[in-house]
Structures are given as structure tokens and as C-alpha cells.
Amino acid sequence: MTMKHRQRVPGLRRLVSATVAALTLTVAAAPNAMAAPATPQEETLQWVSAEDYLATTGASPDRGKLDIGALSKPLPEEGVAPDGAPASLRPRLDPGGGNDGKWWSVVWSGRDRNGTYVPLRLGNSDLGYLHYNVRHNLVSLEPWKAALNSHGPNAQGNYVALLVDRNLGVRETVIFGVQLSTRTQDGRYTSPDGAYIGVITGYCKGKNKCPDAVNRVKVS
């Protein structure tokens, strides 16, 4: 079943505002800091496209003035668990909705900001969702939805999503390799529907398997 592309991920400025508000509350509560021990809270994370992140932080995405890797604070790999995404964040492989189990079945599709239609196909061991979901523990569709909020792939032919914290620190970088052609480079696959092949693979930068946290964060 093909799902409609959602609206672009909101800007990160509200994250900055939330951080400032949190710091204000921290300062105001300082006199009572000894009276009440801090209680652990789940970290606030958000998916954004690399393009949105670079634009918000004042860097030029096309010139690459910002080294994302230098800012990265990766999540620990502990807790990795295959198929860890909530059911609501996984693709719905509905045989009655056009996903008939063939490799070219589209499990989610959308258009980037240039209007280019880029499908995520069910795939197989060579390409698409079935190629990367278990192999790289990337089950949720949310990183791909965020990555598509870009004016096309980067110079390496990838769409990139960033998982950022409230201080705009990059916690994970998820890379999606795509092929914007109707036939794969090796000539083995041609899309029967005439649309682009789309997503070939997806993975967390520098890791064989993504931390399970990437499967729990929804695009806001």
C-alpha cells in the first residue's frame, strides 16, 4: 500500500526555544537543587533531514561547510534488537493494497522538495527495505521520511537523516543510498511500474547495526 508523503519536518528553531526554556527553569530552580534529587528523564530526540539541519545551523548544505561527523555524539550500540520498532512505525505490507510480495512493491513513497518521486520498495536481499531492515536494524520508516525532506540527494547520491538532541547535537546519521533510474546500475533489476528504482539501502553511519533507539523516534 502506497502511503502519501507527509509534510516536511518542522524547523529546528523550536528545539532551540525549548532548550532556552529548559535552561531558564534550571537556573530558577538552582536554590532548591540540593533539596530534590534529579529524576532521570528520557532524552528528547528528533529526526530531521541533513539539509534542514545544515540550513538551520547557518551552514551551506551544498558547500558542506559543516562537518557533521565532528559534531556527532552516537547513541550506544547496547540495546540493539531486530524488529524493535513499534508497529505504528513499521511499513504495512498489505497484500490487498498493492504490496503483493514482489520486490518492486512499494511500502512507502513520497517526493523530495524538488518533486522527485522516490519509492521505498519491499525489495529483497539485494535492494530495498528487505535488504537493510534486519541487516542494519533499521526497521522504522521515520528516518526515510525525514531524509526525503531535501532538494534531491547529496553529491554522493544519498538522502541523509539526522537524529538530533535538544542541543542540536547529532546523535545518529542515517544514510539512504538511492538510484534515480528505472534500472539498477548492474542491469539486474528494472522497475515494472516505470518509476525509479528508489532506495537501495539504508544504514547508520559507521555502524553495522543501528541502535534500537532509531526505531522508536517518530518524525514530529
Instruction: Report pLDDT digits (tens) over 128-185.
Output: 999 998 899 999 999 999 999 999 999 899 999 999 888 888 889 999 999 999 999 8
Quick one: pLDDT band at residue 73, thresholds 50, 70, 90? low
Residue 8 lies in a domain: no
Residue 55 lies in a domain: yes
**Nearest C-alpha neighbor of 83 from the set 148, 135, 161:** 135
pLDDT surpassing 90 at residue 11: no
Residue 1 lies in a domain: no
Residue 80 lies in a domain: yes
Range of the domain at 180: 13-215
Residue 2 lies in a domain: no
**Residue 7's pLDDT is what?**
41
Number of domains in the chain: 1
Residue 30 lies in a domain: yes
Residue 6 lies in a domain: no
**Residue 91's pLDDT is what?**
55
**Residue 23's pLDDT is what?**
31
Cα 184 from Cα 38, distance rounded (Å)? 54
| C-beta separation of 48 from 162 below 8 A | yes
Parallel, antiparallel or unpaired: strands 45-49 and 158-165: antiparallel
Which of the residue ranges 28-37, 102-111, 160-169, 171-180 would you say has the lowest mean pLDDT?
28-37
Q: Which helix (H) or strand (E) holds 70?
A: helix 68-71
